[in-house]
Homo-oligomer: A and B are copies of this chain.
C-alpha cells in the first residue's frame, strides 16, 4: 500500500487503494514487518499540504509534467532507469527510440516502507498528426513554460531541511533543531519558563502522526526534540547523512518528511529499489500499450535525477537546436548538499560516453554525464560548429559529416579556424588516416583527449560491474550484411551514437528535410538515455512504419542544394550485431546503410 496524492482530483479519500500485490515493490515485500497505515488524507486542505510535502521531499530539481502536456518518452532511458539485467527481458528493443506522448495523468506516491517519493505518470502515445505538429511547428504549439515544474516554488511554506548529524542519530539524546528553523516552523514556546517545552505532532507523507517533545534547554540554550525522536529514527531507519524535513502549513499543521542520502553508485544516483521494481513491471506493458495506442504508466523517481526519460516536448526539440562541442561551457541546475537548488557550471571535455564533462568545482563528485536538454550553454565560448562552418550556425544544422572524396560544393570540408587548429594540437601522435572532414576531426579529437589529458577523468564510472548498470561495452565494429541498395557515398544516414549526440551530432547540410536516427546499442548494453535517442521530425515517419512489424523501412530525404532525391532503404529484422560509429542499425536488426567516410 502506498500513500497516494492525486493531483487531478480533489476527492476526499484516496480513490485507488492499490491491490496489495500491485505494489509488490513497496509494501508486499515488507508488509509483514511494517504496520499497515490507512492513508486517508485529511480533506480539509491538508491534502494540498501533502502535495507541498511531497515536493519538499522530492527536492528542488524535480520537474513533473503537467496533465495534458506533450512530452517525449524515451523507452531506453526508461529501461536504464530500471537497470539492465541478464534475466530481465528487454521489452523495448523493438520500440522506436522516442515516443511522443501526452501526459494524461500524474499521481504522486510515497512508498510506505521506505518513504521514497515517486510520481506515477500516465502517458498516452500520440498518433501521427499531432506528433508531427508538435515537432515540426514550434510556433504553432507554443507550450507554456509551466508545462513542467508544476509545483510553484514561490509558495514554499515555512519549511526546513536538516541533514542528520551523528549526534542526531545516536542512541543518546535527541535531535538538535537549528534555531531559525525552530522559530520559523514550530509553535512559539513560553520562554519565560525555566525549560520551555511542548509536544509537537507531525504527519508524514502517509498521514502517520509522529509525536515529539520539543524543548528549549541546555547551556547555552538550544531547541531539541527529545522524546519520540529516536523512535522516529529507528522506524524510518535513518542514518546520519539522511535529511529530515519539517514543514508548517498555513493551517498550522506540521508535516514531516525524509530525504535519504543518495545511493550513489559510481557517482551516479540510482533510483530506489522500489521504484526500479515498479518501472520493471511498468516497462513490460509499454510495447503492448504503444502498439495498441493505449495509456501506459511510468514511475518517476525525483531523487534519482540521473535518468530523465520523460522530457517535455519543447525542451527536447529545443535541445536539438543546440550544438554541443568540446570546450563548450554550460550551466546546469544541481542540488546542493543542503538540498537547495544551485546552478553549477562546467566544461564539456570529451565527446565520449564516459566523463564528458568537467565541473568547475573540481572536488564535487557530481554526476559526470549530462543530457543535452538539462543544460544551458553559457555562450562564453563560441560553438565549435558555428566557427568551423560559418554558413551553419545554430538551429539544427551543424558540422556535416562529409566524406573527403565527396566534398560538397560549399567547401566546408576544407574550412579551418582557430578552434579546430587549437583542438588539433592534441591530435599529435595519432596516425593520420587522411580524413579531413570536421566531423571526423571531432572524432579524432575525442580519442586524443582520452589519451592526452584524461588520466584523472578516464575512469569508466559507469562500468560498475557490481551494479549491472551502465556496463561499458565495446560495440562490434564489424558491419555485417551491408546492403548496398543504398549507395554508401550518397546515403545521409548513419548511426547517431552517444558520442554523436553528446558531441553535438550534426546532420548534413541540407535545406530541409534531413533526418537522423539514433541507433540502439547492442541489445544487452542499455544506453544512457541522455545520449541514446534523438530523432528529428521526419524520423517519426520512419519508426512508425517500423512499429508493429519486424520489417522496417526508412526513408531518407535530403534535398541538398544540388540534388533532390529520396533514397529508400529497407530490410528485414534479423539477429546480428550492431555497428559502431557509422552505419544504420535498428535494434537487433541488420545494418542496412553502410559506413560513412570509408
A residues lining the B interface (CB < 8 Å)? 18-22, 24-25, 28-33, 83-89, 91, 237, 263, 273-274, 276-277, 280-282, 284-285, 288, 466-469
Contact = CB atoms under 8 A, between A and B. Distances in A.
Contacts of A86: 19, 22
A277 B276 CA distance: 13
Nearest to A282: B87
Nearest to A465: B19
A508 to B, nearest CB: 39
Given A20-B466, A276-B24, A87 B281 contact: yes
Contact of A20 (B29, B263, B467): B467
Contacts of A85: 19, 21-22, 24
* Oligomer: number of copies: 2
B20 A88 contact: no
B468 A273 contact: no
Contact of A19 (B31, B237, B468): B468
A30 B24 CA distance: 13
A33 B33 CA distance: 13
Given A89-B288, A281-B280, A83 B21 contact: yes
A273 B113 CA distance: 15
Contacts of A274: 29
B20 A468 contact: yes
A88 B468 contact: no
Contacts of A33: 237
Contacts of A18: 87
A-B interface, 5 closest residue pairs, ranked by CB to CB distance from nearest: A22-B87, A21-B85, A21-B468, A19-B468, A21-B83
B466 A88 contact: no
A22 B288 contact: no
Contacts of A277: 24, 29, 277
Nearest to A113: B29
Contacts of A87: 18-19, 21-22, 281-282, 285
Nearest to A91: B284
Is chain A's binding surface mostly helix, strand, loop or mixed?
loop
Contacts of A285: 87, 89
A21 B88 contact: yes
A88 B22 contact: yes
Given A21-B83, A24-B276, A273-B28, A281 B88 contact: yes
Contacts of A31: 273
Given A21-B88, A24-B85, 17 more contacts: A18-B87, A19-B85, A20-B466, A20-B467, A21-B84, A21-B87, A22-B86, A22-B88, A25-B29, A28-B273, A29-B274, A29-B277, A87-B282, A88-B281, A89-B288, A91-B284, A277-B277
A553 to B, nearest CB: 23
Indicate the member of A29, A89, A281 with the most B CB atoms within 10 Å: A29
Nearest to A82: B21
A85 to B, nearest CB: 4
Nearest to A23: B87
20 contacts: A18-B87, A19-B87, A19-B468, A20-B467, A21-B83, A21-B87, A21-B88, A21-B467, A21-B469, A22-B85, A28-B276, A29-B30, A29-B273, A32-B263, A33-B237, A87-B282, A88-B281, A89-B284, A89-B285, A284-B284
Contacts of A282: 87
Contacts of A25: 29
A200 to B, nearest CB: 28
Contacts of A84: 21
Indicate the member of A84, A237, A273, A282 with the most B CB atoms within 10 Å: A273
Nearest to A25: B29
Contacts of A280: 24, 281
A118 to B, nearest CB: 15
Indicate the member of A24, A237, A280 with the most B CB atoms within 10 Å: A24
A238 to B, nearest CB: 12
Contacts of A19: 85-87, 468
A22 B280 CA distance: 11
A483 to B, nearest CB: 26
Contact of A24 (B28, B273, B284, B466): B273
A501 to B, nearest CB: 26
Contacts of A32: 263
Nearest to A289: B89
Contacts of A21: 83-85, 87-88, 467-469
A92 to B, nearest CB: 13
A27 to B, nearest CB: 10
A411 B129 CA distance: 67
Nearest to A83: B21
